[in-house]
Amino acid sequence: MNTKKFFILLILLSSHFYLFSQNDHLFGILPSLNINHNISGNWTLNVKWEGRQVYSQGEANSEFEDLPVYERNDVATLISYKTDLQQVIAMGYLIRFEMGELIHRSIQQYTFLESGYSSRRSHRISADQTFSKVEDSEFRFRYRFTIEKPLSGVKVDEREFYLKINNEYLNILQGGEYDLEIRIVPVIGYKFTEDLKTETGLDYRIDSFINNKASHNYWLSLSIYLSY
Q: How far is the CB of 123 from another protein (least distance, A)?
A: 10
Size of the site for another protein (CB under 8 A): 62
Long-range contacts of 126-134 (CB under 8 A, 24+ apart): 128/94, 129/105, 130/103, 130/104, 130/105, 131/103, 131/104, 131/105, 132/101, 132/102, 132/103, 132/104, 133/101, 133/102, 134/101
Residues 109 and 83: their CA atoms lie apart, in Å, by 13
Name the phi and psi angles at 9, rounded to 5. Answer: -60, -40
227 touches another protein (CB under 8 A) = yes
202 touches another protein (CB under 8 A) = no
16 touches another protein (CB under 8 A) = no
> Which one among 42, 106, 129, 137 touches another protein, defined by CB under 8 A?
42
Please provide the DSSP assignment of 151-186 as one string.
Answer: SSSSS--TTEEEEEEEEEEEEEEETTEEEEEEEEEE
Residues 61-100 that bind another protein (CB under 8 A): 68-70, 73, 78, 80, 82, 84-86, 88, 90, 97-100
Closest by Cα among 194, 172, 169, 185 to 217: 185
Q: How far is the CB of 143 from another protein (least distance, A)?
A: 14
Helix, strand or coil for residue 117? Answer: coil
Residues 141-200 that bind another protein (CB under 8 A): 146, 148, 152-160, 164, 189, 192-199
Q: Which is nearer to another protein, 2 or 40 (CB)?
A: 40
Q: How far is the CB of 134 from another protein (least distance, A)?
A: 13
> Can you give the binding site for another protein, defined by CB under 8 A?
29, 31, 34, 36, 41-42, 46, 48, 51, 53, 68-70, 73, 78, 80, 82, 84-86, 88, 90, 97-102, 111, 113, 115, 117, 120-122, 124, 146, 148, 152-160, 164, 189, 192-199, 222-225, 227
